[in-house]
């Protein structure tokens, strides 16, 4: 009541004596909005022309508030925000983030795992096409596995591969290399240790993909109503190819939620680390965990997929902590290197547990 009396006392004289007409009430509302603007007025979309005018009179035509750096964009929509998040996620994983202009989108972390699923589909499609084209030699699919490794090294995961090779260059140094803090210069030469790690990384990944065995599981017959869902269950040889990039991109989010951001990190890395919380990390793990439990179950035993997820979590967590301590915080190179380690770790764990799944 005291606050209300104080506001009434500060009202202009021409409004205190007016009757309670529509004009008088509107004048009071306009004066109070101009006098005490809402702290959320500069961040929300105006619902009418009158609200837009109140905001412009309070904060200026730019719609900027001293408390919020976000301008009012009446034309912004949910579709635009989704496209911005997908573009920033692709810039972080597939393109050169240093050349990305503008401020990062707040929806960046939502599209890292879905992009990993698209990469897994590209792996499976490439492997299937190369298998039909080149066949196999002695029961081993050498050229199909090589096609997947070339796709990963040149397009879908070249930054992950370069990140791990650049990290290897600093393992024999007393202090972290300043060039490792950012991966902006992709043409930077890789030293001997990094080159050896790069070759070893490609060889290990090719070996793990070649060693994936062929299994013919049971599917419902065409006259069974469950046969309409057969397309959701690919052949077992394609399942690790589908899930390895998915777990690798989730490992990037795990690294983003650990520790602090390094002072030299770029804008996309800072945005990814700033937006990650334990709740978001768990939500992003639902799809990889669910697919792993379903695809790698045996006689309705879903614990094998859960054990695989636990193994990827352990390997990625230890790698993220070690790399962050080495580079003085989380940078883009530590995030991508952790993703590469998680991806290869998943393939290795799958190959180790293959006998418990299908035999």
**Long-range contacts (CB closer than 8 Å, 24 or more residues apart) made by 349-354:** 349/308, 349/311, 349/312, 350/212, 350/240, 350/244, 350/296, 350/308, 351/208, 351/211, 351/212, 353/296, 353/304, 353/307, 353/308, 354/213
Residue 236 pLDDT exceeds 70: yes
Mind listing the pLDDT tens digit for each residue in 285-306? 999 999 999 899 877 778 899 9
Specify the pLDDT at position 61: 43
Specify the pLDDT at position 221: 80
Kindly state the percentage of the chain with pLDDT values over 70: 70
User: Predicted confidence band at 176 (pLDDT cuts at 50, 70, 90)?
Assistant: low
Question: Going along the chain, which residue ranges are E strands?
Answer: none
Mind listing the pLDDT tens digit for each residue in 112-124? 999 999 999 999 9
**Which tokens go with 184?**
């902006």
Helix (H) or strand (E) holding 29: helix 22-35
Give the whole-angstrom CA distance, residue 133 versus residue 142: 12
Task: Rank 78-82, 185-189, 300-304, 333-337 by mean pLDDT and report only the highest.
Answer: 333-337
Residue 180 pLDDT exceeds 50: no
**Model-level pTM?**
0.75
Specify the pLDDT at position 43: 45
Specify the pLDDT at position 133: 94
In degrees, to the nearest 5, what angle opens at C-alpha 176 toward C-alphas 171 and 178? 130
- The ranges assigned to domains in the chain are 2-59, 91-358
Contacts of 296 by beta carbon, 8 Å cutoff, 6+ apart: 239, 304, 305, 308, 350, 353, 357
Residue 332 pLDDT exceeds 90: no
The DSSP call for residue 153 is I
Residue 36 pLDDT exceeds 50: no
Residue 37 pLDDT exceeds 80: no
Mind listing the pLDDT tens digit for each residue in 144-159? 999 999 999 988 888 8
Mind listing the pLDDT tens digit for each residue in 243-261? 999 999 999 999 999 988 8
Specify the pLDDT at position 174: 52
Give the whole-angstrom CA distance, residue 333 versus residue 326: 11
User: Predicted confidence band at 218 (pLDDT cuts at 50, 70, 90)?
Assistant: confident
Helix (H) or strand (E) holding 345: helix 332-352
pLDDT, greater one: 62 or 85: 85
Specify the pLDDT at position 215: 84
Residue 51 pLDDT exceeds 90: no
- Residue whose entry in the numeric block shows the structure tokens 């492997």: 127
């Amino acid at each position: 009541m005291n606050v209300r009396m104080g506001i009434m006392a500060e009202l202009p004289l021409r409004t205190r004596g007016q009757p309670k007409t529509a004009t008088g009430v509107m004048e009071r509302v306009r004066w109070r909005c101009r006098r005490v603007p809402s702290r959320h007025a500069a961040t929300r979309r105006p619902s009418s022309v009158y609200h837009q005018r109140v905001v412009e009179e309070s904060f200026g035509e730019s719609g900027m508030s001293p408390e919020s750096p976000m301008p009012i964009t009446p034309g912004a929509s949910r579709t635009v925000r989704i496209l911005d998040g997908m573009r920033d996620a692709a810039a972080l994983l597939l393109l050169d983030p240093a050349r990305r202009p503008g401020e990062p989108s707040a929806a960046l972390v939502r599209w890292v795992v879905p992009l990993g699923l698209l990469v897994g589909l590209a792996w499976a499609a490439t492997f299937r096409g190369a298998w039909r084209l080149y066949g196999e030699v002695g029961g081993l699919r050498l050229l199909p596995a090589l096609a997947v490794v070339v796709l990963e090294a040149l397009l879908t995961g070249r930054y992950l591969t370069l990140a791990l090779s650049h990290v290897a260059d600093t393992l024999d140094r007393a202090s972290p290399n300043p060039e490792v803090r950012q991966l902006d210069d992709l043409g930077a030469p890789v030293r001997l240790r990094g080159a050896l790690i790069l070759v070893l990384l490609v060889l290990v990944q090719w070996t793990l993909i070649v060693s994936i065995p062929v299994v013919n599981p049971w599917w419902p017959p065409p006259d069974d109503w469950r046969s309409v869902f057969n397309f959701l269950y690919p052949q077992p040889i394609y399942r690790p190819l589908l899930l390895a990039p998915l777990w690798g991109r989730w490992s990037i989010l795990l690294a983003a939620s650990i520790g602090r951001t390094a002072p030299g990190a770029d804008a996309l890395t800072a945005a990814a680390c700033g937006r990650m919380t334990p709740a978001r990390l768990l939500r992003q793990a639902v799809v990889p965990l669910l697919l792993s439990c379903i695809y790698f179950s045996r006689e309705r035993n879903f614990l094998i997929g859960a054990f695989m997820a636990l193994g990827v979590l352990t390997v990625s967590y230890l790698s993220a902590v070690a790399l962050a301590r080495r580079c003085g915080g989380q940078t883009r190179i530590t995030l991508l290197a952790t993703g590469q380690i998680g991806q290869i770790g998943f393939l290795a764990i799958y190959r180790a547990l293959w006998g418990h799944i299908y035999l």
